[in-house]
């Protein structure tokens, strides 16, 4: 057991060192992202020895009750991102297809399902779960995905059903979702075999809220010209608010990160050395191509200053009220970016266009993520009509590198930048 944990840690280390060398070298502080993620995954991997429980949870799921119960949350989607960044998505997806899963299924689901059977991927598989928590506020795919995994690992599954909030959060919806939070707590008490600690939840709720505010503060620094960070930096630093939301670590890390970004602003340092054009990114990153894309845009003096994806981890802040934590958490979880109507989404995009003062909008039409990609054409049209900025749609997949054609994407980006340059230099 000891040996397998140290092997596992070695793999996490090698993964983090290799994938984000550029960022980790640049961002030196008392504790790096690598350190935090190491501790996080080693805690999870050794949970059986320390008597803690592990829950796999969807990215949009309510994690605070888990933290309050001292359960370690593990995010298969975060793992999916790591698989994508390691360019292992294609082969894991192929394996899932051989198991009988459709190539049209989300590549996070495909790679997670096949990875679990072989302990493959960049970190030798995820720590085994004691329970699964699935919230369908991000998509319907996760329902079946988590059912499959619950059967495979033979562990209990909790499903939190959030009705779609086209424009409003009705009383009926509020009651319905809130009641499920009570059921969630009963579920946790049963699996953990102990009483739920509401006092502890208050603290965790506070830390989670503070963490989200700080993440917002990090992203806000990109309003500066030149922007001290790009969306590619955000894709990297995001890992903590996703995995450790509700802990002090998140607060410590982002407090330092905000200071670091402000220092760059004070010294006039931009993420892209000659920032001339500012762009907004939509959808999940193309994990296997972040380096290539960041260099491609930088070569045009263009900085992707903001994105709708990392903003999602502070996007529902306006609904959160620490004093009514559970009620407000129910609303915040139901009204996330992927669970609202197209007009509402477009409104948020327009706000970001104004806030970050961007010259163009790049939309990743993601073959995997249907809820994120379906309405994009309408959002693009609304943006073109309301703001008149050039929009570019790139077709790819976040994890499955088989759906990416470099020369074709390259031509689209070049043509898009030609239009932006011509408009801006008029």
Partner 1 sequence: MRTAGIDIGSITAKAAIVENGKILNTKVIFTGYNAEAAGLKVYEEVLKENSLSKSSVRKIVSTGYGRNSVKFADKSFTEIMCHAAGAHHLNAHIRSIIDIGGQDSKAIVLDDQGKVKNFVMNDKCAAGTGRFLEVMARALEVNLDEFGAISIKSKNPSKISSLCTVFAESEVISLIAKGEKRQDIIAGIHESIAARVSSMSARLGITEPIMVTGGVARNIGVVRALEKKLGMKIEVSSYAQVTGAIGAAFLAASL
Which residues contact ligand SF4 by CB under 6 A? Answer: 77, 106, 108, 138-139, 141-142, 284, 368-372
**How far is 215 from 311, CA to CA, in rounded Å?**
9
Span near partner 1 by CB under 8 A; candidates 103-111, 244-252, 299-307, 400-408:
400-408
* Of residues 382, 321, 333, the one with CA closest to residue 57: 333
Residue 389 interacts with partner 1 (CB under 8 A): yes or no: no
* Of residues 267, 271, 250, the one with CA closest to residue 31: 250
Using CB under 8 A as the binding criterion, the count of chain residues that bind partner 1 stands at: 16
**How far is 137 from 194, CA to CA, in rounded Å?**
28
Of 141 and 247, nearer to ligand SF4 (C-beta) is: 141
Phi, psi of 363, rounded to the nearest 5 degrees: -110, 125
In the list 390, 400, 402, 424, the residue contacting partner 1 (rule: CB under 8 A) is 390
Looking at the chain, how many residues does it have? 426
Query: Considering CB distances under 5 to 8 angstroms, the limit depending on partner class, which of partner 1, ligand SF4, none binds residue 377?
Result: partner 1
Of 45 and 289, nearer to partner 1 (C-beta) is: 289
CB of 141 to ligand SF4, least distance (A): 4
Of 69 and 106, nearer to ligand SF4 (C-beta) is: 106
**How far is 220 from 237, CA to CA, in rounded Å?**
14
CB-CB contact of 246 with 207 (8 Å): yes
Of 142 and 304, nearer to ligand SF4 (C-beta) is: 142
Of 101 and 108, nearer to ligand SF4 (C-beta) is: 108
Residue 70 interacts with partner 1 (CB under 8 A): yes or no: no
Give the x-and-dash track for 318-357 against partner 1 (CB under 8 A): ----------------------------------------
Cis peptide bond prior to 226, omega within 30° of 0: yes
Span near partner 1 by CB under 8 A; candidates 144-152, 278-286, 290-298, 413-421:
413-421
CB of 379 to partner 1, least distance (A): 14
CB-CB contact of 18 with 88 (8 Å): no
Render 269-300 in DSSP notation, one character per residue.
Answer: --SSTT--EEEEEESS--GGGHHHHHHHHHHT
């Amino acid at each position: 057991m000891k040996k397998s944990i140290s092997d596992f840690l070695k793999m996490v280390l090698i993964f983090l060192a290799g994938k984000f060398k550029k960022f980790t070298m640049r961002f030196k502080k008392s504790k790096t992202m690598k350190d935090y993620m190491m501790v996080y995954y080693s805690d999870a991997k050794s949970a059986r020895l320390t008597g803690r429980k592990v829950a796999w949870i969807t990215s949009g799921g309510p994690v605070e009750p888990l933290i309050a119960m001292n359960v370690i949350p593990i995010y298969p989607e975060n793992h999916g991102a790591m698989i994508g960044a390691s360019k292992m998505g294609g082969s894991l997806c192929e394996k899932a297809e051989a198991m009988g899963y459709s190539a049209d299924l989300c590549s996070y689901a495909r790679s997670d399902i096949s990875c679990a059977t072989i302990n493959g991927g960049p970190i030798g598989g995820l720590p085994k779960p004691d329970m699964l928590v699935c919230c369908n506020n991000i998509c319907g795919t996760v329902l079946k995905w988590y059912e499959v995994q619950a059967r495979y690992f033979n562990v209990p599954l909790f499903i939190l059903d959030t009705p779609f909030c086209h424009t409003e959060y009705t009383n009926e919806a509020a009651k319905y979702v809130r009641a499920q939070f009570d059921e969630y707590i009963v579920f946790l008490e049963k699996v953990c075999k102990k009483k739920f600690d509401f006092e502890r939840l208050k603290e965790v709720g506070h830390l989670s809220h503070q963490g989200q505010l700080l993440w917002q503060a990090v992203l806000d620094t990109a309003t500066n010209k030149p922007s001290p960070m790009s969306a590619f930096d955000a894709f990297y630093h995001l890992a903590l608010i996703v995995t450790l939301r509700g802990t002090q670590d998140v607060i410590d890390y982002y407090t330092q990160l905000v200071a670091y970004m402000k220092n760059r602003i004070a010294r006039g340092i931009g993420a892209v050395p000659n920032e001339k054009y500012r762009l907004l990114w939509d959808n999940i990153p193309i994990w296997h191509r972040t380096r290539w894309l960041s260099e491609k845009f930088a070569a045009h003096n263009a900085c992707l200053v903001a994105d709708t994806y990392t903003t999602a981890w502070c996007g529902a802040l306006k609904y959160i009220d620490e004093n009514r934590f559970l009620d407000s958490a129910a609303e915040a979880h139901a009204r996330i970016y992927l669970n609202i109507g197209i007009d509402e989404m477009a409104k948020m995009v327009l706000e970001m266009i104004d806030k970050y003062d961007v010259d163009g909008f790049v939309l990743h039409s993601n073959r995997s993520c249907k809820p994120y990609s379906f309405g994009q054409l309408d959002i693009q049209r609304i943006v073109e009509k309301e703001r008149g900025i050039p929009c570019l749609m790139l077709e790819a997949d976040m994890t499955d590198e088989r759906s990416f054609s470099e020369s074709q994407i390259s031509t689209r980006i070049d043509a898009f930048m030609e239009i932006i340059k011509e408009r801006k230099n008029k």
